[in-house]
Amino acid sequence: MKSTSKNGVIVFDEVNLARRRMITLLQGYDIHVYEASNPIELFNILSDEGMNIRLIIMDIGNDMNNGFGILSKIKEKRSDIPVFILTSNNKRIAFIRGIAEGASDYILKPFDDAYLLPKVLRIFHNNQETDMPISTDTQFVFDIHSYLNTEFKKSQKGKYEITVLLSTFFLPVTEFTTDLENKYIKVSELFYQNFKSILWDTDVFEHYGSQTFIGIFPYCGLYHMEKIQKKMQDSFDNVIIGNKELTSFHLAISTITYPTQATDTKDLLLTLGMNMKQKIDEMKKKLIPQLN
């Protein structure tokens, strides 16, 4: 039986308890939760209720390639629907694949309800037909692929460059834990606001996951990007200097300029993420021995 609600979210997870938790989390809001335990159920719901679906929350599962294959099929069918990856896979390569395949956010399990709920409500708040309450400091959620594809077309007509940036703050540790994730979440907004304050209003700069930001800079080539990176590093250093509790944090920045260094959206994002991973790995190799 079809739902009459135009505020639908598909929760795709093999684990029944995980789906039940999302239903409990969204109780009291005008949101209809559709449960899918396998890809067939997921795509059947998307086919039957597609016009009512505003968000898909999915786990990529144990088979990462299969999980991202499903995500790719979702985006092929409905590129307009944001997809949140909600998973226990904390490998950076999975995070990078999430960006490249077009996921709007990457959230690790176990998650704090107070962290996830505003992200979900933001999606429905952007729908003009709902009056859901939402905190004004919750970040905007956008479809990375669609946005970049549109901007790249504009840049081709205007014959100007666009630079895409990833910046990640991190602690030089070898093991990723829930406590570490919570530390990142706690300080993420502080770094974000300081970075935003030094950028132009026309620049796009948004959260992705708990410790990473994506920046999109029109009319910005390699020379200007070097200046922006320096400003971001200086801003980061100033935050660290002003807060002794953050002295162990470090910043890595990776950039790619279109069309000089890449011409395809997916490949650009994948290369950007892999460059970021390499920078973080190299920095950790230098930093971790000092902790022993």
Secondary structure (DSSP) of 158-183? HT--EEEEEEEEE---S---HHHHHH
pLDDT of 132 reads: 43
Q: CA–CA separation, 36 vs 24, rounded Å?
A: 16
Q: Which of 214, 68, 199 is nearest to 148 (CA)?
A: 214
CATH 3.40.50.2300 maps onto the chain at 8-125
Contact 184, 169 (CB under 8 A): yes
Pick the CATH number of 8-125 from 1.20.150.20, 2.60.120.10, 3.40.50.2300, 3.55.50.30: 3.40.50.2300
pLDDT of 274 reads: 97
Residues 6+ apart with CB under 8 A from 263: none
Q: CA–CA separation, 117 vs 34, rounded Å?
A: 17
Terminal C-alpha separation, the chain: 61
Q: CA–CA separation, 221 vs 5, rounded Å?
A: 46
Distance of CA 144 to the CA centre of its chain: 9
Average pLDDT for consecutive 10-residue bins of the chain (292 residues)? Answer: 74 96 93 96 95 96 94 93 95 95 94 94 68 42 82 95 97 92 96 95 91 95 92 96 94 96 94 96 86 49
CA distances from 209 to 4, 85, 94, 199, 261 (A): 32, 10, 12, 20, 25
| Residue 158 three-state SS | helix
Q: How many other CB atoms are there within 10 angstroms of residue 155's CB atom?
A: 16
Supply 250's token pair.
Answer: 């470090």
Domain 144-291 has what CATH class? Answer: alpha beta
Residue with tokens 């990457």: 106
Q: CA–CA separation, 103 vs 97, rounded Å?
A: 9
| Residue 9 three-state SS | strand
Q: CA–CA separation, 260 vs 263, rounded Å?
A: 8
Residue 130 burial by Cβ neighbours in a 10 Å radius (0-12, 13-18, 19+): middle
CA atoms within 13 A on the CB side of 220: 23
CATH 3.30.70.270 maps onto the chain at 144-291
Residue with tokens 């990776």: 254
Specify the pTM: 0.89
Q: Which of 275, 269, 276 is nearest to 72 (CA)?
A: 269
Supply 173's token pair.
Answer: 């540790």
pLDDT of 141 reads: 53
Residue 147 burial by Cβ neighbours in a 10 Å radius (0-12, 13-18, 19+): middle
**Amino acid at residue number 99:** I
